[in-house]
């Protein structure tokens, strides 16, 4: 089965708007310029994934809105091709092999700047050389500035997340309809990856298959354990479609589950549903975490819920906002994140339910639609 690749670029005005908002956000944070090297932030702002080499490529975005792109001379044709019409909005500054690109950046920044924000995943060799070239300018993280933009998704971004969730649901439904006992975790994991690609993902980035006692390990790496009757089985799958991520988890049981596990799972379903129902603009992220933990703690499993309730998702599988105690930031319309409480009893079994939810003016929209019932599989 061949699936046509979904387009990844948005329209030109989307990137113009992102550059404009990023500059304005930097200004509100008293940051004179953003220095963004190839990364998800770079792709978010410019619409293409530039190669990250030892030669410096750097978007220099001043708080007044001026945007320059410093690129190695040999990368200039590719940059112009990938940028398309957006190249007309930038000052593209190629540098030759005998030049020092860090002083090119310094010249573009000009005089009088006190603080410059650098991309969070910038290579250390670039950070150190920029620090020397820009001294005494203070270097700070660009993450808070970019996260403020990226966390709240536009309607078009939510459409892509919805499509990715739907594709993941297809893969989840198909794997749960197959015979799982007698197969190794690794074999099932490989099949899930194929199913994600067949459903329209460009990449299948993870397919956790955790059986029996392994189900008590939240990030278990599928291995050679053979799935058996009497096993709890946690399936956590996801990848990227049209540049936006999917991430969903379902728990099944091989054969009839004992009453003890069914009762544990009922508590988990209550906790996950309560957290989803509590989502609305203005509620602190930590409040959703507390709602999720309430039923689990009341049932005596509080110490067995060992991770945060959720993480943001978009162009990365994990991004802002994080649904965890200590994050009092209020939810905003357009925030997209997972709700994934889990209960893990070491050496016995574990269970997790995960959906991607978008905060809207009317509450939380759950993007995943596959059944959350404890399905009995062969």
Given a cut of 70, whether residue 212 has pLDDT beyond it is: yes
141/168 same-domain check:
no
159/90 same-domain check:
no
Q: Give the domain-ending residue among 111, 126, 150.
A: 150
Binning pLDDT at 50, 70 and 90, where does residue 8 land? confident
Q: What is the DSSP letter of 278?
A: T
pLDDT tens readout for residues 100-135:
999 999 999 988 899 999 999 999 999 999 999 999
Cis (ω within 30 of 0) for the bond into 159?
no
Q: Give the domain-ending residue among 150, 182, 204.
A: 150
The reported pLDDT for the residue numbered 7 is: 61
Distance CA 301, CA 344 (A): 9
130/190 same-domain check:
no
Distance CA 148, CA 139 (A): 19
The reported pLDDT for the residue numbered 1 is: 35
How many domains does the chain fold into? 2
Taking a C-beta distance cutoff of 8 angstroms, is the pair 195, 168 a contact? no
Mean pLDDT of 195-214: 97
Longest CA–CA separation in the chain, Å: 72
Phi, psi of 292 (to 5 degrees): -65, -40
User: Would residue 3 count as lying in a domain?
Assistant: no
The boundaries of the domain holding residue 44 are: 12-150
pLDDT tens readout for residues 33-60:
999 999 999 999 999 999 888 999 999 9
User: Would residue 221 count as lying in a domain?
Assistant: yes
The reported pLDDT for the residue numbered 112 is: 86
207/231 same-domain check:
yes
Q: Where are the alpha helices (DSSP H) in the chain?
A: 12-28, 40-46, 76-83, 101-109, 124-134, 143-150, 155-176, 185-198, 259-277, 285-298
User: Would residue 46 count as lying in a domain?
Assistant: yes
Mean pLDDT of 157-164: 98
249/210 same-domain check:
yes
119/196 same-domain check:
no
CA atoms within 13 A on the CB side of 230: 2
User: Would residue 308 count as lying in a domain?
Assistant: yes
Query: Residue 196 belongs to a domain with what CATH number?
Result: 3.90.230.10
Distance CA 21, CA 232 (A): 47
What one-character-per-residue DSSP string does 246-275 give?
--EEEEEEESSPPHHHHHHHHHHHHHHHHH
Distance CA 364, CA 334 (A): 10
∠ at Cα 169 (165, 170), nearest 5°? 120
Taking a C-beta distance cutoff of 8 angstroms, is the pair 238, 193 a contact? no
User: Would residue 167 count as lying in a domain?
Assistant: yes
Taking a C-beta distance cutoff of 8 angstroms, is the pair 180, 253 a contact? no
Phi, psi of 204 (to 5 degrees): -110, 100
User: Would residue 4 count as lying in a domain?
Assistant: no
Residue 326, Ramachandran bin (φ over 0: left; ψ between -120 and 50: alpha; else beta): left
Given a cut of 70, whether residue 303 has pLDDT beyond it is: yes
Cis (ω within 30 of 0) for the bond into 321?
yes
The reported pLDDT for the residue numbered 111 is: 85
CB-neighbour burial class of residue 177 (10 A; exposed 0-12, middle 13-18, buried 19+): exposed
Q: Give the domain-ending residue among 150, 167, 189.
A: 150
No. of helices (H) and no. of strands (E), the chain:
10, 18
3-class SS string, 143-156: HHHHHHHHCECCHH
Distance CA 138, CA 231 (A): 55
174/90 same-domain check:
no
pLDDT tens readout for residues 345-377:
999 999 999 999 999 999 999 999 999 999 999
Identify the H or E element spanning 352.
strand 349-352
Given a cut of 70, whether residue 204 has pLDDT beyond it is: yes
101/53 same-domain check:
yes
pLDDT tens readout for residues 267-292:
999 999 999 999 999 999 999 999 99
Query: Residue 60 belongs to a domain with what CATH number?
Result: 3.40.350.10
164/179 same-domain check:
yes
| Nearest alpha-carbon partner for 281 in 362, 337, 368, 162 | 362
137/196 same-domain check:
no
Here the tokens at position 28 are 């509100």
User: What average pLDDT is seen over the chain?
Assistant: 95
Mean pLDDT of 73-87: 95
121/166 same-domain check:
no
207/117 same-domain check:
no
User: Would residue 77 count as lying in a domain?
Assistant: yes
User: Would residue 5 count as lying in a domain?
Assistant: no
Phi, psi of 46 (to 5 degrees): -115, -15
Here the tokens at position 371 are 């059944």
């Amino acid at each position: 089965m061949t699936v046509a690749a979904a387009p990844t670029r948005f329209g030109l005005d989307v990137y113009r708007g992102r550059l404009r908002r990023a500059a304005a956000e930097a200004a509100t944070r008293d940051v004179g310029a953003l220095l963004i090297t190839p990364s998800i932030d770079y792709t978010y702002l410019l619409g293409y994934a530039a190669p990250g080499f030892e030669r410096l490529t750097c978007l220099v975005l001043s708080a007044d809105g001026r945007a320059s792109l410093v690129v190695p001379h040999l990368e200039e044709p590719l940059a112009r091709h990938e940028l398309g019409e957006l190249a007309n909005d930038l000052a593209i500054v190629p540098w030759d092999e005998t030049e020092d690109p860090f002083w090119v950046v310094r010249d573009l920044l000009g005089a009088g700047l006190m603080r410059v924000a650098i991309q969070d995943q910038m290579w250390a060799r670039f950070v150190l050389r920029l620090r020397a070239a820009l001294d005494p300018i203070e270097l700070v993280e660009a993450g808070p500035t970019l996260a403020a933009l990226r966390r709240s998704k536009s309607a078009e971004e939510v459409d892509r997340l919805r499509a990715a969730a739907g594709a993941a649901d297809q893969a989840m439904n198909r794997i749960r309809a197959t015979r799982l006992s007698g197969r190794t975790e690794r074999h099932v994991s490989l099949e899930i990856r194929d199913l994600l690609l067949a459903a329209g993902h460009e990449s299948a980035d993870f397919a956790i298959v955790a059986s029996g006692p392994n189900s008590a390990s939240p990030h278990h790496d599928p291995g050679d354990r053979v799935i058996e009757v009497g096993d709890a089985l946690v399936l956590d799958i996801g990848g990227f479609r049209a540049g936006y991520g999917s991430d969903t988890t379902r728990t099944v049981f091989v054969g009839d589950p004992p009453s003890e596990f069914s009762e544990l799972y009922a508590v988990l379903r209550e906790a996950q549903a309560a957290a989803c129902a509590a989502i609305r603009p203005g509620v602190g992220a930590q409040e959703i975490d507390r709602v999720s933990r309430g039923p689990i703690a009341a049932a005596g499993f509080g110490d067995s819920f060992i991770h945060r309730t959720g993480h943001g998702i978009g162009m990365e599988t994990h991004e802002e906002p994080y649904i965890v105690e200590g994050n009092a930031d209020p939810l905003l319309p357009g925030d997209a994140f997972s709700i994934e409480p889990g209960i893990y009893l070491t050496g016995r079994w574990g269970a997790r339910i995960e959906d991607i939810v978008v905060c809207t003016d009317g509450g939380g929209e759950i993007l995943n639609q596959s059944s959350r019932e404890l399905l009995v599989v062969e």
